Structure 1
Amino acid sequence: MPLVSQSDPGPENFGLANGHTILRHWHDPSLIDTLQHRWMNEKKNVMPEISWSQLRRRFTPGFEDILDLGVSNGWYDPDILLQALVFRWVFIPWLQRELDAYRDRVNNTAKRADRNKVLPHGVPNHMYEAPEDYGVLDFKIKVDPAAVSYVRNLYAPPDHEVFELVPKDFAELANHFYEEIGSPAIGRSNVWEVYNQLLGRFEHLDNLHRIPADIDDCWGYALTIAREDHADDIALLPNLTPLANGLDAVREDGSFYLGGVNNGLGLDETQSSQLDEMMNTDEPLPPGLIDLEEGDQLMVVFSDEEDDSGEDD
C-alpha cells in the first residue's frame, strides 16, 4: 500500500481516510497520532482526476452506446423491478470484468514518454515491482493480511447488504435460468440477448405463479439500499494531527510537498543520499526511462489543470 492516500474533501471519503490511517498505524506505531490522508481541494487532486478523465474518454463511450441500446429498444426500464434486478445480475459483473481488463491493460502498458517530466517512465507494473531499476526509492508497504481483514470488518464488512448484488433467492433463480440457456460467456455482442432470455424466464414465472407481494417488497428493497438515504454515516477518526506540509505549506519557490515520507516531512538525509547514489550509478537504465537527446534541457512543469496531455498510449 502507499504511504498516504488522498481524496477530495467530504464525509463520503471519511471511510477511505480512516481505513488507510488505521493500516498505517498498524504497520508503523510511531504514526499513531496522525491522519495518514491528504485532503485535496478543487483542481489539486490532479492524478486521480486525470485517470478518471482518461477512463471517461477511452472506456465509457462504447459501453454507454451498448447500454443505450436496451433503453432505446424498450428492453430495460429501471423502474420495473424484474428488469432492474436482471440488469444488475447480468450487466454489473460483466462491466466489472471489462473494467478489470482495462486496468490490467493500463498497468501493463508504458505511457508515451514526456521529456518535460522527471517522473520515471516505463510499464507501471514493472516500476511497481522493481522501482530501483528506474532510479527511484521504494516506499510501498507490505500489508499484513490480518490488518486488511480488521479494517474491512470495520468499514466494509463483507456480509453487509450493500454488497449483495441481488437478493439471494433471486440470484438462485437467475443462476438456474442461466444454466438453462447454456451458461454463455457474456460479452458485448450478446449481453442484451442474455438479459432478454433471463428476463423472459422471470416474466414467465411471474405470469404463472405471480411473485408474492412479500418477496416483491424484499426484492424491491435491494434496489434502494445503495442510495444516499440508506448510507451509514462514518465519522472521521478524532484527535489526529494532519500530515506535515501539504497545500498550506507553500515553499519559497511556489512548490509544496504532498507525499507521506517521514510523516509528511519528505526525504531525510539518509534517503537523499541513497537517491543520489542511485542517480550516480553508471548501470544502464531500462529502455525509455530517460528519452533525451544531447543538448536537450530537462524542464519540470507542474500544473493544477486536469490535463492528460502526454498520457496517451
Structure 2
Amino acid sequence: MWIRVWHSNRNPQLILSYYLDTIQKLGHMPMVTQSDPGTENYGIANAHTMLRQWHDPALQGTLQHRWMRSKKNVMPEITWSQLRRRFTPGFESILDRGVDEGWYDSNNTLQVMVFRWVFIPWLQRELDAYQDRINNTAKRRDRNKVLPHGVPSLIYESPEDFGALDFKIAVEQNAIDHVRALYIKPDHPVFDLVPPNLGDHIQLCYEQMGHPIVDRDSVWRVYCDLLHMLQHGADDPTLLVVSGDDDEELEELSLLNNYQDLPFNEDGYYMGGVGGGSDGQVRFGPVL
C-alpha cells in the first residue's frame, strides 16, 4: 500500500501519517492492522483501534491491532526481503559512489541537507515505480498456497472475481480527520524534508540551474552543483540550517490502556470481536 523513504523512520506521528494518507486515498481500512512491537507503530495501533470502534461500537474494549514478535510478522517481512533483494543493491551502489568519491560527508550538516533535498524525492519516485510494477504483475503460481493467484491490484479491487472475500471496511473522512488531529502535529519538524527556509534557498538555486532532471545518471551531479552554488553564493546557507538531535523526533506516545487483545485461532486468523461478531457469529478473516 505504501513504501516510503524519509530521513526518519522512528517517529510514530510520521508512521501514522502514512497509514492515514493511505486509507484516506482508498476510502477504506482493513479489519485489523498488524506490526512488529516497536513504539513507532503505537500511533497506527491507537488510531486504527479508534477508527474501528468509531464505525462499530461493539468493538469497544479491544485493541484492533495485533503485535507480532520477532520473525512472526511474515507478510511484511517477505515484502521487505524482496525489496532488499530486487530494488536495493543497484541504488546502494549509486549512493556508495558518492561516498567513495568524497562528495558526501555525514558530519557536514549542509551536505546532509542538500543530500536529503535531492536524493529523497528521487528515491521516492523510484520506489513508487517499483510499487506499481509489483502490484500490477502476477506472481508466480504456488499450488501450496491457498491465497488467490493473479495480479495483486486486480485481486485487491475485485476479490470476488478470484473466489475470495472482501474485508475492506469503508471509513468516514470525519473519522480520519478526528484521529489525525488527535495524534498528528502537522508543523512537527519530522514532516519537513529540510528546514523550510533552507528548502526555499535550495529551490531558488535549483531554478537558477534550469531545473535539471534528477535520475540515476545525474543525481550526484545535481547534488554537487547545488552544493557548490550554496557554498559560493552571497548568502551563508548554514544560517538557515536548524541543527538538532534526531532524538528530539522521538516524542513518547502511549498505547491505549486497558484494551483486551484480539482473539485469534490457532492458525492465526482473527475471530471477529471478543466472542465473535456483533451478531454472535464467529467470523474468520485475514489480518491485513
Q: Same fold (TM over 0.5)?
A: yes
Identity %: 55
1:95 aligned to 123, 126, 137, which one?
123
- Unaligned stretches of 5+ residues in structure 2: 1-28
Question: Secondary structure at 2:34's aligned position in 1?
Answer: strand
Q: In the superposition, relative to structure 1, how do residues 99 and 236 fare at CA in structure 2: closer, same or farther (>3 Å)?
A: same
C-alpha contact (below 8 Å) 2:198/2:237 kept by paired residues? no
- Equivalence map 1:133-282=2 (5 Å): 133-205=161-233, 208-210=234-236, 215=239, 218-221=241-244, 224=245, 227-245=246-264, 250=266, 256-259=267-270, 261-262=272-273, 265=276
Q: Based on CA coordinates, which of the two structures has the bigger radius of gyration?
A: 1
Q: Does 1:60 align with 2:83?
A: no
C-alpha contact (below 8 Å) 1:86/1:199 kept by paired residues? yes
- Mapped to 2, the partners of 1:166 and 1:142 lie a distance apart of 35
- 1:154: Cα distance to partner? 2.4
Aligned length: 256
C-alpha contact (below 8 Å) 2:190/2:249 kept by paired residues? no
Q: In the superposition, relative to structure 1, how do residues 195 and 28 fare at CA in structure 2: closer, same or farther (>3 Å)?
A: same
- Mapped to 1, the partners of 2:136 and 2:164 lie a distance apart of 19
- Name the TM-score, length of structure 1 as normaliser: 0.76
- Name the TM-score, length of structure 2 as normaliser: 0.82
Deviations 1:188-209 (A, max 9, x none): 111111111110110002xx45
Q: In the superposition, relative to structure 1, how do residues 209 and 109 fare at CA in structure 2: closer, same or farther (>3 Å)?
A: closer
Deviations 1:30-75 (A, max 9, x none): 1121100111122211111000100111111111011111101111
C-alpha contact (below 8 Å) 1:258/1:264 kept by paired residues? no
Q: In the superposition, relative to structure 1, how do residues 31 and 70 fare at CA in structure 2: closer, same or farther (>3 Å)?
A: same
Deviations 1:132-170 (A, max 9, x none): 111111111122122222222222332211101111111
- Mapped to 2, the partners of 1:118 and 1:91 lie a distance apart of 40
Q: More displaced, 177-186 or 84-93? A: 177-186
- Unaligned stretches of 5+ residues in structure 1: 251-255, 276-313
- Mapped to 1, the partners of 2:191 and 2:72 lie a distance apart of 31
Question: Secondary structure at 1:67's aligned position in 2?
Answer: helix
C-alpha contact (below 8 Å) 1:109/1:124 kept by paired residues? yes
Question: Secondary structure at 1:50's aligned position in 2?
Answer: helix
- 1:210: Cα distance to partner? 4.2
Amino acid in structure 1 at the alignment position of 2:269: L
The structure, 1 or 2, with the larger RCO (C-alpha pairs under 8 Å, 6+ apart) is 1
Q: More displaced, 47-56 or 151-160? A: 151-160
Supply the RMSD in Å over aligned alpha carbons. Answer: 2.4
- Mapped to 1, the partners of 2:188 and 2:270 lie a distance apart of 33
